[in-house]
Structure 1
Amino acid sequence: MALALGIGMNSAVFTFVNGLLLRPPQGVSDTGKLIEIWLHDPKSSGVQGWGPFNYPDYAYYRDHAKSVQGLMAFDGDPEEAIWNHQGSGEILHAQFVSGNLFSLLRINPVLGRALSVDDDNIANPRQVIVLSYPFWKQKLNSDPNVVGKTLIMNGTAFTIIGVAPAGFTGLMVGMDPDFWAPLTVMARFRHEVAERFTSRNSYWLIVAGKMRSTADRKSVQAEMHVLAQQVYHNNGSKNDFQDAIVYPLTLVPGPFRVYVAAFTGGLLAVFALVLLIACTNAASLLLARATGRGREMATRAALGAGRARLVRQMLIESLMLATLAGAAGIAVAWVTSRMLMMLKPASIPITLSIPIDWRVVLFTTAISIATGVVFGLAPALRAGAVRAARILKEETQTAGPKKSRLRSALVVAQMAACVVLLAGATLCVRSLLNANAIDAGFDTHHIALTTLDPSNLGYSPAKIDEFYTRLLDRVRQLPGVTSASYTAFLPLGTSRSGTTVGKDSGPNQDKTEVDFYRVSPGFFQTMGIPLLRGRDFTQKEFNGDKADAVVINQTLANRLWPGEDPVGRRLAMHDEKSTRLVVGVVKDGKYHTLGEPPAAVMFLPSLHPQRTIVVRSTGDSRTLLDEIQREVTIVDPLMAATDGQTIEQYMALPLFPARAVGWLLGVSGLLAVVMTAIGLFGVIAYMVSQRTHEIGVRMALGARRSDVMKMVMNQGLRLSAIGLGIGFMGAFAASRLLAPVLYGIGANDPVTMAAVVIGLTLIALAACYLPARKAMNIDPSVALRYE
């Protein structure tokens, strides 16, 4: 069972490695020739130095690259579309791609045709779409006559020209679009001006390509570097030079694979320790059996069996055991991987495919064989080294300290690994408790959230304002609702807006970097953000054409006006000629992560068309979500809300790192403790059983029961102490790797380390006491006849 759990949990993590890093895009042929290209700023380091393409640069690379059959592009962010279906709105997800994407990937639709270059003509884009297979099957009932029909999306008619084959979901992990449309139709789809197709400052396209049969990645890289220099010089050096770096095309973009590999590699290392503990348990058991089977091996050797045959027999037995554990491990991996998927916050809009395919089976088979060899090799070598004559002459076999050194070493290794895992687990569990108790700066109960964007339907600014006003009035009248307001986005999410501010607009003024949030009146009351001084925004300031009010948090107030009352003062924002009046100061909160230091933030009384409605109620906020959606439909039947969730569900995203690491290490630590306790108990118990005759002799010669107990306890506790010492040093070094995901606790917290040592010492005492008590109660007359 221990081996099955160890193998299964490693296989479960490998399913994510396989799904994210190893599996090629589904439904795509000749993936070995596919590449992706990313822009890189040589002056930057880390993930900030990488970026996608703008459209003009993509067009230049596409038209001038000779080492590739073609360059394709697609929008890396899924676009939400409101489908006007049977008189109501329904949210779909679209992906905009270049017209040559389907042809370069050799994707053949099951119905109709794919997008073409002519469909993606920037001068005259065609409003056509290719449906995904699941959408066609589930939403359109596999209609065989669907080609040529139109769907109304975002208030615009799009003609269906084909249905993609089953399994094809695009070229990025987590993307699962309902349909694909030409890149150049995006402006009409989003009811916006087509600036993104001419602007060199709008970076939004992920570029991929297919190498020619005579080219390799090195030659393509050389050509892309030349093209990057040409683009830089053609633009008159207005922007910093950005090189073009070529990667093999994978579901996870090349620049970010190292981060995914580091995270999954860390998980594999953790569960490898669990498997190591399981292996030491199995090795101890087989060593014990090998000692007990000494006469059997000696007899086989006396009858002519060579050393190689004895070793082979023991290895085959261990490999059979490991194979059975591996088969059970596949089932454990299937269950565990599904449980790990449950840790993903619902607000992360990605879907992961983690099948148990041939790669996972091959990995599980390999790790099972390796495990069988690891825990079976020592017992096999011990069995092959038997001295037949001496063993057959002995009447009894003892298991004193000299004959159990290897088993003792395994116990030490097991205890050391357990200390490392349990220390990490305890740190992460305490961190998770601290994270749940962190004051985010706003209330995290009885709030419902829903996002809306009337601009998707092409509404005018006046109609957008009318929609939001009517909706807010109706929502405020719902039973149990105490307040409601709008915001562009909430703190601790994935969105961010920043600028710099100063006391006035003078050129010599010191500037402070701040984040800002756009909100409507009543936001602070609805979110439970305490107003320390001043007042909230007024409706006149929110509706005004030139609102100049601003609310700041305590940190910004202390930076700009330390020791003074900032209310009534004015501050200047970057790129604004006029200053803004500070009308209020609110309590500090958490804005990016739960573990961040105090940050300077301000709030502005203005909003864009896309808004999140925030509703506070006295009852269950989950039931409020359906009522909000119903009110949205009443106000405008064509409108559809997205991202409906409670504030508790929203908080799952900032808590995700602590929860994921806490649960994973917590489970691994618990398994390690159980396996270590069982292993230590088993080794000591077997030593007692093998030394029964010796104990009988000692007691016959006058040894007291307490002496016997002390002898057995000392032997077990000595091994435990050595393991604890080694493990403590390992835990001290390994825990530093957890520092980025710990909240309110140090990586080498002395209380945690002391608790781990004391806890494992008590477990070791219990594991040693039971066999010692059995040894103490041995009847000398029976023990002397024991063989």
Structure 2
Amino acid sequence: MRLKHEVLHAAAGLKQYPMFVFTLVFTLALTLGALIAAFNLNNVIMFKELPYQNTEQLYILDQEIKREGNHRRGKQHIDAQVQMYKTSKEFLPSALLLRGQGILASSDSEPRLNSLHVTYEFFEILSVPFEIGSGFSKSADMSSAPPEAVISYDTWQHYFFGREDIIGQSMEFERMQFKVVGVLKKDFKEPLLFHPDASDIYIPAAYSQLNSVNGGAATTNLLTLVQIVPGNNVEQMGSRLTSIFDDFIKTGSEAHLYKDAELDARLILLEENIKGNSGTITIMILAGAFVLLLIAFVNVTNLYLSHLNKKQQTLAICACLGAKPKLIFKRLFVESLVLTLSSTLFAILLATWLLTFIKEFAYGTLPRLSELGLDLPTVIFSVVIALLLAALLAFCGRFTVNYDALKEQLNSSGKGTSAQVSPRVRQVLIVSQTALTGLLIVASSMVLQLSLATANHPLGIDVENVISVEVDAEKNYTTEAQKETLATEIRKRFSQLPQVAQIANTRISPIMQGHYGTFVYDESKKMIGGFLYNRVDENFMDIVQLPLLHGRNFSREEVVDHENVVILSKSMAQTIFGETDVVERRIYNSTGQAFTVVGVVGDYFSVSNGEPYFYFTYKASDINLLIKLKDQSSLSKLDILQQLRTIDPSLRIQQYLVLEQTARDLVYQYRLSAWLAGGLSLFALILACTGIYGVISYSTQMRRYEMGVRMALGAKKKRIIAMVLKDAMNPILIGLGISLLLSIVLYGLANSQVSGLIQPDAVQVGASLILLLVFSLLACYLPVNNIVRSDPIKALRNE
């Protein structure tokens, strides 16, 4: 009851100062909301357990190939991974996972769905829950798996309308018939190891390239999920799997592809694999939000101390009536707690919106975003922060209140209250605010520098009015000769359209997520390295305006005859031969087949394309059209489909890309980072300037009588302004110096822990700090200017 009385008393007292309450609650709510959202983000990604049984037993098998001192990870050699799965079945529960996409012909809309080709163990290892049905049937080996399918809950609802009799029904996916055996629970969270989108359909691995010989091909779309049961040592198991890889590359039919190479097995906890390097990003977000809160807290502290000065008379009465310092602290704490809890309530509402915003606009940039949302740890964190802030405010208030002087207040008529907040405290507030803001602005400027450098990086090719269309012709065109004829007919048909300026055949779009890669060898069959490639015809270079540096383009005859000629990018030529003019030099494939270099072109930039590139002549294993449209022309997906159906009604569109939009989409996360970094810097700057303005305004109000005397005696306005700015300059410069020192120390620590950290731009950092200095001085100038522009008599009368 006594606590309730204290709370009601504090609330009643605060009602007398509505602007003070609004300003404090609003300031804290904004920054607390950001901190709560950042905490929830970190908690989900860094600490929340995965929603699977025996999570600590789940690992991902990743290959590491070693050759001549070079270590490469991330790409899985397909045949080696399949051999490992087959050989280790007796002692290691594992499942192959291959990411793909395909068209669901069973639906009238023929949607393109995300697929995951897996072995039956996938559902057992993750203890996958089912709405209806079950997982795949067990099979003696991978190749004998029956044609079954498991669909996601959303796929069941959207394309099969939630039919209860779906189990046992046949569906056509990727030109094959599969029997539906299961529907996943709505709340099942697939481990997203390849793509931010969950799979729509699960198909046995037997019906993929995993069931055929792939030579030395490697892909980033393949992983193996492993369960290491208690009693087995992870390191020993890794060594055992490495020995399986070793036997395969030394004694298998493809041993010549792995000459002078080692293939090691690396077992990574599933949790760590999903997390990746996102921990660094989320901790930086949390640190930024925490610094924002500190800046806001300095503002609030100054505001609160000013509020206490208005309550000197009340506190003096309490002291004279025998209230001890502990009781005064308690009263201040209860009042502060009412304020911070009110702020926290609004902050939680703001955090809820921020988490929804993050899920929507940061989709694909961080893992497990779909799991964001207020939970018990987040609420507890919010309450703890509210209690801590209340205690700090009460402590600051108690520290700045002179208990002995309070008893003299009743006789002083309020005079001398300015002494309650000492100049030292005001200077500390300015120093801390400037230092924290400077640190945050420097860090944000580095993020902004990296994000803008990537987002605004020139492509190196012209994709204006260029669209890419991948045609699915597998139903009636199975041989390469049939596809060649079809590709020629499609090209002829589209070149006659009035909207089309130029058309080319390619294997894939030059701008997209994911590219084909292959290994390149020298004449002694020694592997040089892995490189990305495309198959193009003679029009490709002209359409995208890829500059030719040496040699020539493909001729039409070379494309038609599939001659063994290639065009290298500048970076690939430099990597292999150490120079760029390498026309008439040769490179080799895994079988020893030679390809003559006829030209060298410039590099082009794509976020998803970070390796050297080269080009073969086009073959119609895949039919992809690159269409250059005339100005002010358009060609929609429906328009293209109608044209294709006039050639053959069975033709479908596998992929439709507007390359300008695709290029923007690929750098979206960097643009988002730039906006967030810029917004964070601006918000911090506003908070800092507001706080400095508040401190200087309070200081000048306390010196208003003194300034009135000086003006009455003839002091120039400029001299008075210079006097105030000079007093404020020292703490501001000290704060800037501390922020620069902290930035250097923290960057050194981060650089030793995080590889590839961007080198800060001295000019940009200097400009950021100068900007902070200018705005800080402006915040100092405004309050004193208001006083010196007024009538000195009003200052002397304290009007």
TM-score, normalising length: structure 2: 0.81
Matched, 1:98 2:109: no
Structure 1 residues 612-627: aligned runs within 5 Å: 612-619=624-631, 624-627=636-639
Q: Residue deviations 1:244-287, cap 9 Å, x none?
A: 5362x43xxx2463511112112222232222211211122112
1:111 to 132, 135, 153: 132
Report what 1:775 is aligned to: 787
Structure 1 residues 279-318: aligned runs within 5 Å: 279-318=297-336
Matched, 1:420 2:439: yes
| Structure 1 residue 139, shift from structure 2 partner | 1.4
1:353 to 343, 346, 370: 370
1:221 to 234, 237, 242: 234
For 1:204, give the aligned amino acid.
L
SS of structure 1 residue aligned to 2:144: coil
Matched, 1:477 2:496: yes
Q: Is the 8 A contact 2:329 2:394 kept in 1?
A: no
In 2, distance between residues paired with 1:734 and 1:22? 24
Report what 2:85 is aligned to: 58
Structure 1 residues 304-703: aligned runs within 5 Å: 304-340=322-358, 352-358=369-375, 359-375=377-393, 377-383=395-401, 387-395=405-413, 396-399=415-418, 403-429=422-448, 435=454, 438-455=457-474, 459-489=478-508, 490=510, 493-495=513-515, 497=517, 499-500=519-520, 505=523, 515-532=532-549, 534-545=551-562, 547-554=563-570, 569-575=584-590, 577=592, 579-590=594-605, 601-607=613-619, 609-610=621-622, 612-619=624-631, 624-652=636-664, 655-656=667-668, 658-696=670-708, 698=710
Matched, 1:35 2:77: no
Q: Is the 8 A contact 2:569 2:613 kept in 1?
A: yes
Q: Residue deviations 1:374-404, cap 9 Å, x none?
A: 5554224434856432444444134369713
1:209 to 200, 208, 227: 227
Report what 1:159 is aligned to: 179
In 2, distance between residues paired with 1:112 and 1:691? 80
For 2:466, give the aligned amino acid.
I
For 1:117, give the aligned amino acid.
K
1:40–1:126 distance in 2 versus 1, CA, 3 Å: closer
SS of structure 2 residue aligned to 1:110: strand
SS of structure 2 residue aligned to 1:111: strand
Q: Is the 8 A contact 1:78 1:175 kept in 2?
A: no
In 1, distance between residues paired with 2:295 and 2:636? 49
Q: Is the 8 A contact 2:317 2:407 kept in 1?
A: no
For 2:279, give the aligned amino acid.
A
Report what 1:124 is aligned to: 144
In 1, distance between residues paired with 2:423 and 2:564? 81
Structure 1 residues 175-186: aligned runs within 5 Å: 175-183=197-205, 185-186=206-207
SS of structure 2 residue aligned to 1:529: coil
Q: Residue deviations 1:588-624, cap 9 Å, x none?
A: 4336689x8xx86432113463454322113468754
Q: Is the 8 A contact 1:56 1:197 kept in 2?
A: no
Report what 1:729 is aligned to: 741
CA RMSD, Structure 1 to Structure 2 (Å) = 4.3
In 2, distance between residues paired with 1:160 and 1:557? 50
| Structure 1 residue 141, shift from structure 2 partner | 1.2
Q: Is the 8 A contact 2:274 2:367 kept in 1?
A: no
For 1:73, give the aligned amino acid.
A
In 1, distance between residues paired with 2:266 and 2:591? 35
1:444–1:246 distance in 2 versus 1, CA, 3 Å: closer
1:166–1:24 distance in 2 versus 1, CA, 3 Å: farther
For 2:81, give the aligned amino acid.
N
| Structure 1 residue 236, shift from structure 2 partner | 9.1
SS of structure 2 residue aligned to 1:63: coil
In 1, distance between residues paired with 2:42 and 2:542? 45
In 1, distance between residues paired with 2:571 and 2:741? 40
Q: Is the 8 A contact 1:482 1:617 kept in 2?
A: yes
SS of structure 1 residue aligned to 2:165: coil
Q: Is the 8 A contact 1:100 1:116 kept in 2?
A: no
Report what 2:37 is aligned to: 12
Q: Is the 8 A contact 1:287 1:407 kept in 2?
A: no
Q: Is the 8 A contact 2:504 2:625 kept in 1?
A: yes
1:713 to 725, 728, 731: 725
Report what 1:79 is aligned to: 100
Report what 2:169 is aligned to: 149
In 1, distance between residues paired with 2:325 and 2:76? 62
1:351–1:266 distance in 2 versus 1, CA, 3 Å: closer
For 2:191, give the aligned amino acid.
L
1:693–1:446 distance in 2 versus 1, CA, 3 Å: same
1:361–1:711 distance in 2 versus 1, CA, 3 Å: same
Report what 2:6 is aligned to: none
In 1, distance between residues paired with 2:292 and 2:233? 44
1:36–1:646 distance in 2 versus 1, CA, 3 Å: same
Provide the aligned length of Structure 1 versus Structure 2: 752
1:752 to 741, 754, 764: 764
For 2:770, give the aligned amino acid.
I
Report what 1:68 is aligned to: none
Report what 2:21 is aligned to: none
For 2:517, give the aligned amino acid.
S
| Structure 1 residue 666, shift from structure 2 partner | 0.7
| Structure 1 residue 87, shift from structure 2 partner | 6.2
1:60–1:154 distance in 2 versus 1, CA, 3 Å: same
SS of structure 1 residue aligned to 2:167: coil
Report what 2:264 is aligned to: 242
SS of structure 2 residue aligned to 1:176: coil
In 1, distance between residues paired with 2:142 and 2:216? 11
Q: Residue deviations 1:688-717, cap 9 Å, x none?
A: 223334444555666554443333222233
In 2, distance between residues paired with 1:528 and 1:88? 36
In 1, distance between residues paired with 2:170 and 2:619? 33
More displaced, 16-25 or 755-764?
16-25
| Structure 1 residue 771, shift from structure 2 partner | 0.9
Q: Is the 8 A contact 1:448 1:622 kept in 2?
A: no
1:5–1:255 distance in 2 versus 1, CA, 3 Å: same
In 2, distance between residues paired with 1:699 and 1:760? 31
In 1, distance between residues paired with 2:533 and 2:173? 32
In 1, distance between residues paired with 2:227 and 2:211? 28
Q: Is the 8 A contact 2:216 2:519 kept in 1?
A: no
Report what 2:257 is aligned to: none
Q: Residue deviations 1:632-678, cap 9 Å, x none?
A: 45545444434433222222355346424322211100101111111
In 1, distance between residues paired with 2:446 and 2:650? 50
Matched, 1:272 2:294: no
SS of structure 2 residue aligned to 1:36: strand
Q: Is the 8 A contact 1:94 1:181 kept in 2?
A: yes
1:682–1:199 distance in 2 versus 1, CA, 3 Å: closer
TM-score, normalising length: structure 1: 0.83
1:515–1:235 distance in 2 versus 1, CA, 3 Å: closer
Q: Is the 8 A contact 1:326 1:364 kept in 2?
A: yes
| Structure 1 residue 134, shift from structure 2 partner | 1.1
Q: Is the 8 A contact 1:454 1:639 kept in 2?
A: yes
